[in-house]
Structure 1
Amino acid sequence: MSSKDIALKDIFEEIPYRLSRILTPAPIKELLPTNFPSTELRVDFLARLEDESILHIEFQSFNDPNMPFRMLRYYLAILERYPNTPIKQLLVYVGNRKLRMKSRLRLRNLTFSYEMIDIRQIDCKVLLESPDPMDRLLACLCKVEDEVYLIEKLIKTMESMNEEERKAYLLKALTLTELRPNLRIRFTEEVRHMPIVVRPEDVRLPKRKLRKDILYRLGLEEGKQIGLEEGRKEGEVIGVEKGKRIGIEEGRQIGELEFAQKMVITLVEGKLGYVPEGLAEMVREIKDREFLHALIKKLITSEEVLEVLKKELNV
């Protein structure tokens, strides 16, 4: 089971208030077991609604051409357990690519269908205004027109939590935004100064994927903690090379400059698949944070990366 699947299951165990009302035809009466031992099947979400019907929801993060057959197998397993009970099936697509799956299966002696929705059809503001923190979390996957506003709402949500709750919430947000790379980059930049230590084992990614992850690569080198710790306590003094000790403000500025330099290099590599010769050294020579931040925004929003580099850095 992927980390994204785990995060979605954890969120739906708490039944997000507003999203459940968007997705379900009637209020949820009770959650039902999701495993079917006799068939070795497990569904993502299963509940009995107040109208006594059964609701089955599957979350899918990529286009699977075999999805209609999978949904049919789930339907038969549910029907066998709950005979003579109306069953509604809903596939919620949360992937980043265009939805291309079919919601109907037509065979010689069988016609089968289910409902399907791309979660990006839902305006994230609807969920961001919900009193339920889980709704706000799922807003990351919805239609987002103002990423800054969304990130501000998530950070404000975490402010009222204790340390453990805040860390769990942050990890879920980081996991879900793996599906929205540009949002993940911005979100990572905003939360990196939060007094939360996130370690590689917390991210729950295979090692080969972890090394490619934006949080890992923009955080610290392998073997160190993910999540920068400089600037955590006002007035704290941090050490730098050659034993020199400087005040927290200067240390914070150095950390932000290095982070911006790393982000530029990582964005270029992520979009091109390689780093042009000499670019890394050129970027590390840039000491203007405002220029680097402006360059980061252009790289995030532009598909013509080489053109941006040529114009801004004469690469």
Structure 2
Amino acid sequence: MANDYDKILKENIASVFLPLTEKYLNIRIKRSEELKDKLQTTIEKEPDFIRIVETDTNERFILHLEFQSVDEEGMIYRMQEYYGILRKKYGLSIKQFVIYLGQKASKMQTQLAPDEIFEGFTLKSLRDYSYQHLLASQVPEEIILAILSDFGNKKPVEVLQAILGKLKEISGEEIVLRKYIRQLSILARLRNLTKETQKQITDMGLTYNITEDYLYQEGQKEREKGMIIKMLKDKTLSIEKIAQIAEVSVEYVKHVAKELKK
């Protein structure tokens, strides 16, 4: 399900990038350059030596040793990467040592500069912003985000009517309007407003049925599969009974069971 939201945000980010950064992040951008490289989640080299140790003073931490025969210029960043991975996985404090084996004196950087140190991130929640701020935009990709914002003392139905009305006003072509209605319907799941959204779409005479949407159907399939897996793991029901409860074929349940065994 999270992939559905990611697809929408990736599809729309080019349009909302500037208004989002200027209005909500207080960053005035003069020029920007897109980085198209994918960030790798794996590392090429495994740590040389990592152990959870406990000292005679009862201090418990991860001891990480790297043996380095080459005076590697970017070693500090590799150690930083190891640190982040180990910290995320084990949640323990870490002490790192590089044991240099080279003949010449090492010039490796051993400490990060102040601007290289990760000290956390700034958290911004759309719930902290009034829907009216987003609704005032002329950018459809920004307007649909109002469904995730603060409704104040307004009922969800009133906000939905305002969002759909504004989308209808500025979208122009029917095909464009349908695109944003589809995206709005998907984002509405994050606020449990799927039924209300579909009702308002129908009441306003807009032609879009969320149950016919590809992403909606895929989400239904995932929920259906998840329910079947849960029942299979429980091991108290027969294949036929599971198929009956999930309202699917016996063959499909057998297919899921086969995948589960893998």
Q: TM-score of the superposition, structure 1-length normalised?
A: 0.40
Higher relative contact order (CA 8 A, sep 6+): 2
Larger radius of gyration: 2
Q: TM-score of the superposition, structure 2-length normalised?
A: 0.48
Q: Which has the higher helix share?
A: 2
Q: Which has the higher strand share?
A: 1
